[in-house]
């Protein structure tokens, strides 16, 4: 898919603004170049046992829009988002920007963020994910994200630096990824410089990166330009996390 073909150079585009509405942060950005970073492509055998989870900091079952933690409205005519049927919907039209991240406005440092994510309708050339430590940067944003491509059963652990994707762990296949329109339980743990990715309870990657130390959590959806995509999210939860030694 186009994610892996955008490696030659960043595309120059007008950077879109941040929007803060009703205490909710919305960010939509145009993907630039995708490059591979230096990282471990396999989880460290001791990474899971080295992390201890604490109290719940944020939760949203998406059953009650009035108590929701994500925005129920879109400020972009090419994007539909909101609470629908006990899930959170993000739909990009074929004319919308390459991807969109929607986050709550609480800032966290060391955390575990988990969410159930699925693609509705088509899955080819489309991806869905969860992000942590999201911060504004020059009118766009920067963050860590666990990305999954259900059509191919692939995932990546990535850093969007505000202009391009840097793959800390490059796209690779994993049996942990449920294919097609099935729901995947995505977990991203950020404790100090340690970043751990889990899919459906299986640790698929871990790495060290010191670029960001705190920020917002977000749900993320994207696709090749020129095609629509719709993602549904459920059971968002954020917990404290720390090294156990």
pLDDT digits (tens, 9 = 90+) for 104-125: 878 999 999 999 999 998 899 9
How far, in Å, CA of 158 to CA of 218, rounded? 14
pLDDT of res. 24: 41
| Nearest C-alpha neighbor of 86 from the set 114, 64, 113 | 64
- Mean pLDDT in the chain? 83
Cα 144–chain centre separation: 7
Q: What is the pLDDT of residues 52-98, one digit of tens each?
A: 999 999 999 999 998 889 988 888 899 999 999 999 999 999 999 89
Q: What is the pLDDT of residues 195-240, one digit of tens each?
A: 999 999 999 999 999 999 999 999 999 998 789 999 999 999 999 9
What is the percent of the chain with per-residue pLDDT over 70, rounded to a whole number?
Answer: 80
What topology does CATH give the domain 2-8+30-243? Jelly Rolls (2.60.120)
CA distances from 65 to 19, 62, 68, 70, 106 (A): 20, 7, 5, 9, 18
Instruction: Name which residue leads in pLDDT, 166 or 105.
Output: 166
pLDDT of res. 244: 77
Classified as helix, coil or strand, 235 is strand
Instruction: Name which residue leads in pLDDT, 72 or 5.
Output: 72
pLDDT of res. 5: 35
Instruction: Supply the DSSP symbol for 108.
Output: B
pLDDT of res. 147: 98
Confidence of residue 41 (pLDDT cuts 50, 70, 90): low
Examine the pLDDT at 137 and tell me if it is beyond 90: no
Examine the pLDDT at 134 and tell me if it is beyond 90: yes
pLDDT of res. 71: 86
């Amino acid at each position: 898919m186009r994610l892996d073909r955008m490696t030659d150079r960043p595309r120059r585009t007008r950077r879109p603004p941040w929007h803060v509405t009703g205490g909710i942060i919305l960010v939509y950005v145009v993907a630039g170049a995708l490059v591979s970073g230096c990282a471990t492509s396999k989880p460290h055998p001791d990474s899971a046992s080295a992390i201890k989870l604490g109290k719940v900091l944020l939760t949203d079952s998406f059953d009650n829009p009035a108590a929701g933690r994500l925005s129920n409205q879109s400020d972009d005519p090419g994007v539909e988002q909101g609470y629908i049927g006990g899930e959170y919907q993000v739909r990009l039209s074929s004319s919308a920007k390459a991807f969109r991240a929607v986050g709550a406005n609480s800032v966290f440092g060391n955390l575990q963020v988990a969410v159930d994510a699925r693609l509705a309708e088509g899955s080819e050339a489309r991806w869905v994910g969860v992000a942590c430590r999201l911060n504004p940067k020059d009118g766009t944003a920067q963050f860590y994200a666990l990305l999954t491509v259900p059509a191919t059963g692939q995932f990546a652990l990535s850093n969007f630096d505000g202009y391009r994707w840097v793959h800390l762990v490059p796209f690779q296949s994993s049996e942990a990824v449920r294919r097609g329109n099935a729901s995947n339980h995505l977990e991203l743990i950020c404790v100090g410089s340690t970043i751990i990715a889990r899919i459906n309870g299986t640790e698929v990657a871990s790495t060290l990166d010191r670029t960001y130390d705190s920020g917002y959590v977000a749900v993320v959806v994207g696709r090749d330009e020129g095609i629509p995509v719709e993602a549904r999210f459920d059971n968002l939860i954020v917990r404290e996390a720390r090294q156990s030694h």
